[in-house]
Structure 1
């Protein structure tokens, strides 16, 4: 059913794709507000990595004039003028660049930019949250429309959707694998685990996994004892925290640790145009050898 819904959404998007370069265009932001883009944006500032990735993938990097710094930014935007960090952008630095479109602003920064008359577009759920693959695809389409590259955006969505469908088709008939996706800042500190309603949870399910913490919501912090009690067969974490899991004396008895099935995967790609690549990493961890090279 998920595969059918993804294909249906893709086909619908292809049919609705507008003609590239037709302005003004109207798009809807995360608040449900209609945002009118009067002319083709040529001076764009991006405040979150997803938007930088989208512009890079659409071939619109030359329109960027400023980027908020983040370790998750694509390498193609290294060297662009910085407007602070993604979580604390500088209002003054943004305004000084005289952008005709700001992508990914939220909270007080968005409010101030709009008060100053700047055009701001943020997508996803309210507050700009990306909660899963549908939000990533919607972000690509919306940004594509906003910059006059709707056909290219649909083509990008098509490539991502095709990759996802191919992976799901392989793992669908395979037995589900009990897995925990966690974030551990230090070897023996209580981990934050991935629960339902998160992008990572969706990927675990699509990759043929059974989330050991699927009965919880969001990213709750649990005790090490609780993790040991649930004893998943596979543990996933970000590569930067892989050693924390392996070095934990408390977790050395986990089935996943004992069997060598603790893997680092690129967690930031869960809210990225690289989401299909992350899905493949997760599927390969859960079902070694099932996917063709």
Structure 2
């Protein structure tokens, strides 16, 4: 696999599946875990009601019709699995991907494959609907449509889109009350962080590193990503924005990083051998303000997941970023962790 192909795969992983960026090595600064979001009660008996057949336009612009209330759901991405469980439809899930690890109940469900979904496994699950993300193979969609199995693509581009997807899954599964309650809670939590961050002094330049496996450059989260939105929400500037060139996950040379002078670096690439020590040992990086001032922060697997999966835990990700970037407002200082 070429360098550019590998980096493209990594970017896709972070935006959708988010299964590889995990911290395995000890580090001086790790965020405190939040309590997990409790799944909503069963959708049975909710006051809202969907009228079937339900016609909708998914996030890929496809017209989809769902003939009846789904009792068997295949979820083809971790983010969609989290949404389904969070609105109380977990007992209807009959298939998930190899990467669907949250909530815990999803781990024991039948698997439909990983990056390459298994058509036979999906058909064998006898789903009433398949929920997937952008990149789900077109040939599998075509085969399922021939068999009258609807596929709904969920691909939010921002936090508002995540909330819309929660509502959409509520519509699909006739779980309006649970979905609306969850959306209200998530919106209130996001707004609370933004409001609190307005009282912070200054706007630190923060670099969120995705990959540094190739000498001389890194890949970072750029404008238009959920991470970028989180940085803005906590009153920080994305350090790589000036050199991103419109790319969501730009490749940035070490020389450019030195010029950008980030005041904080958040490492999301520890599973690839990166650590605070490794970063500090990169040629020239010792003069980067974040390194010089001891403001290089590492993330755990859970923290990487919640800052990258476009599902209900995305607000956990915001709160985690707020704790790192604004410890004086949201949590203890790095040195006390």
Matching of residue 29 in structure 1 with residue 29 in structure 2? no
Q: 1:72 to 1:232 in 2, by over 3 A?
A: farther
Q: 2:261 aligns with which of 231, 237, 240?
A: 231
Conserved 8 A contact 1:185-1:241: no
CA distance in 2, matches of 1:196, 1:88: 29
Distance 1:274 1:18 in 2: 25
Contact 1:67 1:82 in 2 (8 A): yes
Deviation at 1:287, TM superposition (A): 1.2
CA offsets 1:93-123 (integer angstroms, 9 cap, x no match): 1111111111105232223322332111112
Taking a change above 3 Å as real, the CA distance of residues 144 and 34 of structure 1, as seen in their structure-2 partners, is same
- Contact persistence 1:187–1:244 (CA under 8 A): no
Distance 1:153 1:289, change over 3 A: same
Which position in structure 2 is the counterpart of 1:117?
A: 148
The DSSP-based 3-state class of the residue aligned with 1:290 is helix
1:222 deviates by: 1.4
1:198 aligned onto 2:229: no
Matching residue of 2:71: 42
Q: State the Cα distance separating 1:239 from its structure 2 match.
A: 6.5
Between the aligned partners of 2:313 and 2:218, the Cα distance in structure 1 is: 25
RMSD: 2.3
* Contact persistence 1:18–1:145 (CA under 8 A): no
Match of 1:95 in 2: 123
C-alpha distance in 1 between matches for 2:290 and 2:100: 29
Q: Please tell me whether the aligned partners of residues 137 and 157 of structure 1 are also in contact (alpha carbons under 8 angstroms).
A: yes
The CA deviation at 1:187 is 8.2
Counterpart-to-counterpart distance in 1, 2:51 and 2:249: 42
- Per mean C-alpha deviation after superposition, the further-off stretch among 261-270 and 277-286 is 261-270
Helix, strand or coil: the match of 1:68? coil
Deviation at 1:88, TM superposition (A): 1.1
Which ranges of structure 2 fall in alignment gaps of 5 or more residues? 1-45, 333-337
Q: Deviations over 1:35-79 (max 9, x none)?
A: 222211011111011110011111211101110111654322011
Distance 2:179 2:286 in 1: 46
Q: Is the 8 A contact 1:26 1:146 kept in 2?
A: no
Pair 1:220-2:250 in alignment:
yes
Structure 1 unmatched runs, 5+:
1-16, 125-129
TM-score computed with the length of structure 1 as normaliser = 0.85
Match of 1:259 in 2: 293
Q: Whose relative contact order is higher, 1 or 2, with alpha carbons under 8 Å and at least 6 apart?
A: 2
Alignment match, 2:162: 136
Q: Which residue number corresponds to residue 305 of structure 2?
A: 268
Tell me if 1:149 matches 2:175.
yes
Cα displacement (A) at 1:197: 1.5
Provide TM-score, normalisation by structure 2: 0.74
* 8 Å Cα contact 1:27/1:146 also seen in 2: no
How far apart, CA to CA, are the structure 2 residues paired with 1:115 and 1:42?
20
**Contact kept in structure 1, 2:100 and 2:107, CA below 8 Å:** no
- CA–CA separation in structure 1 for the residues paired with 2:298 and 2:329: 19
